[in-house]
Amino acid sequence: MEHIPILKVGEFLLVSIQVDMHDRLAMTLQDDLTTKLVATRAKGVLIDISSLEMVDSFIGRMLGHMAAMAGVLGAEAVVVGMQPAVAITIVELGMELTGVRTALSVDKGMALLRTLVDEDSFTLNPVS
Protein backbone atom coordinates (compact mmCIF):
# COMPACT_ATOMS: atom_id res chain seq x y z
CA MET A 1 0.00 0.00 0.00
CA GLU A 2 1.26 3.49 -0.85
CA HIS A 3 1.98 6.04 1.85
CA ILE A 4 2.80 9.71 1.62
CA PRO A 5 5.73 10.64 3.89
CA ILE A 6 4.98 12.90 6.84
CA LEU A 7 8.12 14.65 8.06
CA LYS A 8 8.60 16.33 11.43
CA VAL A 9 10.26 19.71 11.04
CA GLY A 10 10.70 21.29 14.45
CA GLU A 11 7.26 21.56 15.99
CA PHE A 12 5.51 21.15 12.64
CA LEU A 13 4.65 18.28 10.31
CA LEU A 14 5.33 18.59 6.60
CA VAL A 15 3.25 16.60 4.13
CA SER A 16 4.42 16.92 0.53
CA ILE A 17 2.10 15.18 -1.88
CA GLN A 18 4.25 14.24 -4.88
CA VAL A 19 1.96 11.67 -6.51
CA ASP A 20 -1.50 11.73 -8.01
CA MET A 21 -4.01 11.33 -5.22
CA HIS A 22 -6.66 8.68 -5.39
CA ASP A 23 -9.39 8.05 -2.84
CA ARG A 24 -7.70 5.22 -0.95
CA LEU A 25 -4.41 7.12 -0.72
CA ALA A 26 -6.24 10.19 0.62
CA MET A 27 -7.91 8.06 3.30
CA THR A 28 -4.56 6.50 4.24
CA LEU A 29 -2.95 9.95 4.43
CA GLN A 30 -5.73 11.20 6.69
CA ASP A 31 -5.25 8.25 9.06
CA ASP A 32 -1.45 8.54 9.00
CA LEU A 33 -1.60 12.29 9.65
CA THR A 34 -3.88 12.01 12.66
CA THR A 35 -1.72 9.23 14.10
CA LYS A 36 1.45 11.29 13.60
CA LEU A 37 -0.17 14.41 15.08
CA VAL A 38 -1.06 12.53 18.25
CA ALA A 39 2.35 10.82 18.45
CA THR A 40 4.41 13.99 17.94
CA ARG A 41 2.08 16.60 19.48
CA ALA A 42 2.95 18.85 16.55
CA LYS A 43 1.63 22.39 16.71
CA GLY A 44 1.16 22.74 12.97
CA VAL A 45 0.77 20.88 9.69
CA LEU A 46 1.88 22.13 6.31
CA ILE A 47 0.32 20.26 3.38
CA ASP A 48 2.12 20.89 0.08
CA ILE A 49 -0.11 20.14 -2.91
CA SER A 50 2.05 21.86 -5.55
CA SER A 51 2.40 18.60 -7.52
CA LEU A 52 -1.34 17.99 -7.72
CA GLU A 53 -2.65 18.92 -11.13
CA MET A 54 -6.22 17.81 -10.51
CA VAL A 55 -8.47 17.66 -7.47
CA ASP A 56 -11.92 16.09 -7.46
CA SER A 57 -14.60 16.78 -4.88
CA PHE A 58 -13.55 13.85 -2.69
CA ILE A 59 -9.89 14.92 -2.52
CA GLY A 60 -10.98 18.52 -1.86
CA ARG A 61 -13.18 17.37 1.02
CA MET A 62 -10.34 15.24 2.39
CA LEU A 63 -8.05 18.29 2.46
CA GLY A 64 -10.72 20.12 4.43
CA HIS A 65 -11.16 17.16 6.79
CA MET A 66 -7.41 16.91 7.41
CA ALA A 67 -7.27 20.60 8.33
CA ALA A 68 -10.28 20.22 10.62
CA MET A 69 -8.82 17.14 12.31
CA ALA A 70 -5.54 18.97 12.86
CA GLY A 71 -7.51 21.72 14.59
CA VAL A 72 -9.33 19.26 16.82
CA LEU A 73 -5.95 17.79 17.77
CA GLY A 74 -4.58 21.22 18.68
CA ALA A 75 -2.58 21.96 15.54
CA GLU A 76 -2.86 24.66 12.91
CA ALA A 77 -3.02 23.57 9.26
CA VAL A 78 -1.93 25.37 6.11
CA VAL A 79 -2.24 24.11 2.53
CA VAL A 80 0.41 25.46 0.15
CA GLY A 81 1.25 25.36 -3.53
CA MET A 82 -2.24 25.16 -5.00
CA GLN A 83 -2.03 25.27 -8.80
CA PRO A 84 -4.38 27.74 -10.56
CA ALA A 85 -6.21 24.87 -12.29
CA VAL A 86 -6.84 23.22 -8.92
CA ALA A 87 -8.19 26.47 -7.46
CA ILE A 88 -10.47 26.91 -10.49
CA THR A 89 -11.75 23.33 -10.15
CA ILE A 90 -12.51 23.81 -6.45
CA VAL A 91 -14.49 26.97 -7.21
CA GLU A 92 -16.29 25.37 -10.18
CA LEU A 93 -17.29 22.40 -8.00
CA GLY A 94 -18.79 24.88 -5.55
CA MET A 95 -16.57 23.61 -2.76
CA GLU A 96 -15.82 25.73 0.25
CA LEU A 97 -12.66 24.75 2.06
CA THR A 98 -13.95 26.20 5.30
CA GLY A 99 -11.24 26.59 7.89
CA VAL A 100 -8.45 25.77 5.45
CA ARG A 101 -5.70 28.35 5.47
CA THR A 102 -3.62 28.62 2.32
CA ALA A 103 -0.31 30.13 1.28
CA LEU A 104 1.48 30.33 -2.05
CA SER A 105 4.71 28.57 -1.08
CA VAL A 106 6.25 26.35 1.58
CA ASP A 107 8.24 29.32 2.93
CA LYS A 108 5.13 31.49 3.24
CA GLY A 109 3.19 28.58 4.72
CA MET A 110 5.83 27.96 7.38
CA ALA A 111 5.85 31.68 8.23
CA LEU A 112 2.05 31.61 8.53
CA LEU A 113 2.20 28.53 10.77
CA ARG A 114 4.80 30.23 12.97
CA THR A 115 2.57 33.32 13.28
CA LEU A 116 -0.51 31.23 14.09
CA VAL A 117 1.31 29.14 16.68
CA ASP A 118 2.85 32.23 18.28
CA GLU A 119 -0.61 33.91 18.43
CA ASP A 120 -2.11 30.81 20.05
CA SER A 121 0.73 30.67 22.55
CA PHE A 122 0.23 34.33 23.44
CA THR A 123 -3.55 33.90 23.76
CA LEU A 124 -3.23 30.81 25.95
CA ASN A 125 -0.47 32.27 28.16
CA PRO A 126 -1.13 36.02 28.45
CA VAL A 127 1.48 38.05 30.26
CA SER A 128 0.13 39.48 33.51
Q: What is the CATH number of the domain that holds 64?
A: 3.30.750.24
Does the pLDDT of residue 96 top 90, yes or no?
A: no
Assess if residue 1 is contained within a domain: no
What domain count does the chain have? 1
Please tell me which residue, 59 or 121, carries the higher pLDDT value: 59
Report, in this order, helix, strand and coil percent for the chain, each rounded to 5. Answer: 50, 15, 35
pLDDT tens, position by position, 39-66? 999 999 999 999 998 888 898 889 899 9
The answer on pLDDT for 4 being more than 90 is yes
Does a structural domain hold residue 55? yes
Whether 42 maps to a domain, the answer reads yes
Pairing of strands 12-16, 6-9: antiparallel
Percent of the chain with pLDDT over 70: 92
Q: Which residues does residue 6 pair with via DSSP β-bridges, in sequence order?
A: 15
Q: pTM of this prediction?
A: 0.88
Residue 34 lies in a domain: yes
In the predicted model, is pLDDT for residue 12 greater than 60?
Answer: yes
Parent domain of 59 = 6-124
Domain-embedded: residue 67: yes
